Structure 1
């Protein structure tokens, strides 16, 4: 690679100066351009939209809420989010999933794991080094909707985009490419790149619930994304 290779910009939203400095050095050495924000206001001051590729947010900001910032970002920008959590913050992790966070890293963290998680999220969102791009401009139709695989968009019957988080999109695309077969939770977690040992059941439950709200006419009675009790999930393109 040449010296002019794009270095993804990572916003570090953490009010702990020592932690921010540690993260900044770690990300710089990992090939990223860190942008330190000690407060939510610092992040908002970056611009609209902010000129970054991913937001790394501490859940426990003093006097502020990392979850509120995640919600703000998710409602406005297709920006990947990785959240830093403390040991035992299980409830916050679940709430964070519901706001659209793409992954979690628990403090104290392994430096290599953090960099690997960030790279994986960027790659899956289509913005980072080694990003996955569609080989051709194709779409997959199910019911009255379709997914544009090149643009990574879910389109409704009127031709309008239905916003998806990166996690929701990856889940839907995987189902669409593997229709009519039972897919287990461990398989889904492996595809999403989430910590399987700790978050298998609830992580998938939250993502499935959010996705059903966007693709099903009656989320409580899904015709496309169906549950197979004690087995996993199956996606039916025609909705039987």
Structure 2
């Protein structure tokens, strides 16, 4: 038996992949991050459910190991896509030490759900040639390199940092100017989704007025204006 790390997507159950859905239906044990995914969202799945919020890494790995050795199908659920701030590397390293096989099932990231809600393309010829994904510096990060990235022709996506929206806006505005388009999407794809658009001059005020402090994606860049040259694809 092996454990499956499955991306649950941004929140809309219809954005769960067919493969992840099938695994959840067959699972004997689902370990999920309760601070990001509610147990109500898993109500149709009959497996035993364990909320990993507050558990130490060793406790999670012990739980997985015992279940797998008992012949149970285990799904370790991740919000969004496991490869984006999923903290799976530390988990898989421990599983490898114990000789436990695993498979990673991708999911829809909140990045892409947010872009869809904005009806925006994050990359545009001559406007944004690539996407930078990061988070602002803080307790666990010494430097965020926003001043290095800001001059480049890219769309800036910030995760895990809406509580620092004013700092992010001011730092990027030092390079791009206050008229740079900016948006924040709270709970992308969910029923209580909020989409806030503006510029680096006013986005912080708008977000703070809504009381948004977590679970939101910040997107900054001229691609949000949806103006650019035609692509070669349709040339």
TM-score, normalised relative to structure 1: 0.25
Give the structure with the higher percent helix: 1
Q: Which has the higher contact order (CA 8 A, sep 6+)?
A: 2
Computing the radius of gyration over CA atoms, which structure comes out larger, 1 or 2?
2
